[in-house]
Chains A and B, each alone.
Chain A
Amino acid sequence: MVNNLMRNKRLLIITIGILSIAAGIGLGRFFMPTVESSNPEISGFYISPALEVENFDLTNQSGQPFTHATLKDRWSLLFFGYTFCPDVCPTTLAQLNQLHNRLASQGVGEDVTVWMISVDPARDTVERLKEYTAFFNPKFGGATGEREEIDKLAKQFGVYYKIHDPEPGADYYLVDHSGAVLVINPDARLQAVLTETSLTHSLVKDFLAIQRRYDG
């Protein structure tokens, strides 16, 4: 009889112990939402808080101003390139087109604009840029302008480019450029930088994660 009571008591203590540990874990999870508060896992960098973009003055594919104001109230995906580029730029545009199609199929394609900024205004007129970007998607835009204004934008994004002299005997020149895609949020602030790995392997997933995190 006494033995039985003792055994029940021990069982009760063990049960209470287990329950309180479980409750502790549950409460801990509830009060410390560590998963939510960390930055989304993307192939690139999520910038928190998002960086302000200083004003710049370029011209878009239709001859209209492309400035800080253009970036407001929508998501913008920017990358720097040139239309003579046979490999990286078409590949990037084709990959951004896949993302755009995916967003359009979910009815949110209008919320995102893709921009190719040409760092090669000597060869790229805005008319040329228009034809080039529209080939990949008629909704894509292009912009270029004075070297000084291009640099203003490139420098604040940490985007590097270098225009080479033609190689001996060549009638063309090449341009080294950063292949990253800059993600500008609807407040016209730099929210993330996506790398080439993201473009090739996880663009849709990464972009949606950035948007989700921004929407809170």
Chain B
Amino acid sequence: MSKFGITRRLAWENARSSANDMKPNLLSILRSIQKTFLCGAFPEMNHRLLLLVILSLITANGFAAEFTVGNLTVKNPWSRPTPPVASAGAAYFVLDNSQGQDDRLLSAEADISARVELHTHLMDGDVMMMRKLDTIEVPAEQTIAFEPRGLHIMFIGLEGPLVEGETFPLTLNFEQAGAVTVEVAIGQQPNAK
């Protein structure tokens, strides 16, 4: 199982580099934000601090993580926290194959449950029919969203509850791109589209 070519980029790194590209007139924008929203409550708050507050508000909303293998990118893997009595859980992410070739997700592995399966929901009217899939097609130049009420990785026979704030490794095996291990963040759904 090769882990080469896996990069992890955090949102704050992007935020930091874009902060370096700041244009001088950003100062005036910040000043007006300060005037509008803070109503001069913290007149001594300096602009650098204000910028930090704004950036942290943006990034705190979603711990944006990306994992790449070949030309495939797995974005924002996440899982909902589970009640202690729950025996099943699910993981979601966005699979970006816009630069890649036709591929196929063959299986997933994690050591948090007895079984790890690929599942989808078929909708018939408002009836949700959850079904196990053997593989999931990942066509070239497409982005596939694994999301609630749709495609998901299902964990059956959880060893313990999925606890908010924790993470766990999940390995996805692709036919062409190979294997990639992503870190699944347990929490609420990252910024929905």
Q: A180 near B: Cβ within 8 Å?
A: yes
Q: Given A84-B87, A87-B90, A87-B152, does the pair A160, B128 have CB atoms closer than 8 Å?
A: no
Contacts of A176 in B (CB 8 A): 127-130
A60 to B27, CA, bound (A): 58
Interface string of B35-52 (1 = CB under 8 A from A): 000000000000000000
- Which residue in chain B gives the minimum CB-CB distance to A176? B129
If over half of B's interface residues share one DSSP class (helix, strand or loop), that class is named, otherwise mixed; here it is: strand
B178 to chain A, nearest CB (A): 27
Q: Is B148 an interface residue (CB 8 A)?
A: yes
Is A86 an interface position by the 8 A CB rule? yes
* A131 on interface, CB distance cutoff 8 Å: yes
Chain B residues numbered 149-181 whose CB sits less than 8 Å from any CB in chain A: 149, 152, 154-157
Q: Tell me whether A91 and B127 are in contact (CB under 8 A).
A: no
A84 and B88 in contact, given A91-B148, A91-B149, A180-B126 (Cβ under 8 angstroms): yes
Question: What 1/0 mask marks residues of chain B from 60 to 91 whose CB sits below 8 Å from any chain A CB?
Answer: 00000000000000000000111111111110
Is the C-beta of A94 less than 8 angstroms from some C-beta in chain B?
yes
Task: Judge whether B121 is part of the interface by a CB distance below 8 angstroms.
Answer: yes
Interface residue range, chain B: 20 to 34
Which of chain B's residues have a CB closer than 8 A to the CB of A134? Answer: 83
Residue of B nearest to A86 (CB): B88
Give complex CA distance A190, B125 in Å: 20
The listed residue (B83, B86, B126, B192) touching A178 by CB distance below 8 A is B126
Question: Which one of A86, A136, A195 contacts B152 once the chains associate, using CB atoms below 8 Å?
Answer: A86
Task: Give Cα A146 to B132, complex, Å.
Answer: 29
Q: Which residues of A contact B155 (CB under 8 A)?
A: 86
CA distance A83 to B84 in the complex (A): 11
Residues in chain B within 8 A of chain A (CB atoms): 80-90, 119, 121, 123, 125-132, 148-149, 152, 154-157, 188, 192
3 tightest A-B CB contacts, nearest first:
A135-B83, A86-B88, A91-B148
- Could you show 15 A-B contacts with beta carbons less than 8 Å apart? A83-B85, A83-B86, A85-B130, A87-B130, A88-B148, A134-B83, A135-B82, A135-B83, A135-B85, A136-B83, A160-B127, A176-B129, A178-B125, A179-B127, A200-B192
